[in-house]
Structure 1
Amino acid sequence: MRLFLTGGTGFIGSHVLAAALAAGHQVLALRRSPASAPVIPLPRQPQWCEGDLLTLAAPQLQGVEVVLHLASAGVSPKQVPWAELVQANVASSLRLLELAAEAEVRRCVVTGTSHEYGNAARRFAAIPPDAPLEPLSAYGASKAAAFQLCCAPSPSSGAWSSSTAASSRPMARASSPATSGPPCGAPPWLGRISP
């Protein structure tokens, strides 16, 4: 399968990248520069795409079957200004979905964070996927905003065109293999992710 990965030089992204390559997938991974490197050794190198989500163009996603969006700004302990959080975690995520739809990518997975749950997490031993989003930090709020916008229909088309988006809500699990449809009362075009 041909994958496009953002965040492949971060902690979680490096592990996802290594696993995808080990499984034999063809991976096109976005990185800011050749100096950006995964935090763990890889079984082989992916095809690297230098730049960021602001410079990415739809033709670069041609032939990609799945977009895995793990890139994020403001991951603890980094402190990032609001404007950068909104640009990186909200606007860039939506732009990536729009580019994927334009390139006719069949599936997009946008990862979340436990920081989205914030105060709500205190009420659960295990956070259910439909727990309310009550972030306690600017980072959590920006990721929650991105999740909410990814669940909303695209203003231009009413849906994310031919692209199917899925949000990997942290700690989320499908209740059973028979469960179908989107999590959290999201629109029907939003797929369910089961870890």
Structure 2
Amino acid sequence: MIRIGLTGSIGMGKSTTAKLFAEQGVPVNDADQVVHELYAGSAVAAIENSFPGTAQNGVVNRTELSRQLALHPERFKELEAIIHPLVREGERAFLERQQSVGQDIVLLDIPLLFETGAEDRVDVIVVVSCEADLQRQRVLARPGMTAEKFDLILSRQMPDTEKRKRADFIIDTGQGIEEARRQVIQVLNSIRSGANEEAENHA
């Protein structure tokens, strides 16, 4: 089973691209979605313990958590120490499920793939990218987003130019959805033909 690692900086169109892979029948494990579930489930008590005042009605208030982290960015590591092991646990369960049904390709949507050293957990890395101006425009159009918040998020992410250098494939989302879909199909065809060649060489 080939594990594709999908990543890209904020506003690059990663979530949309993950949906395009899903459209092609590729099961997707979305790390962001897993975190959302953890913030309403098994991570709530540990986060409230480390960041008092962030849990409300049994759910982590992301706005309050973001406020505390903006004041003390050095505490991101503390939050990651709570969240990352739980995310990995969910990922392992997802991979086991897909392996058991004979899936040939799966996609792990990992926003901080390079930053968290997740390269060794995937076979192929796909980086989603677009022009910096378009990225900024997309992010600042999000509700509750500010230029300061955007800069804080960017400061925690590896620069896009570096991600592109480390990618096996790059999908440019700046040319519209149809072009992105064409690139996704091209990437899958390339991965599958590479896997077939390898199988023939070992036959």
**TM-score of Structure 1 vs Structure 2, range by shorter chain:** 0.3 to 0.5
- Normalised by the length of structure 1, the TM-score is 0.33
- Normalised by the length of structure 2, the TM-score is 0.32
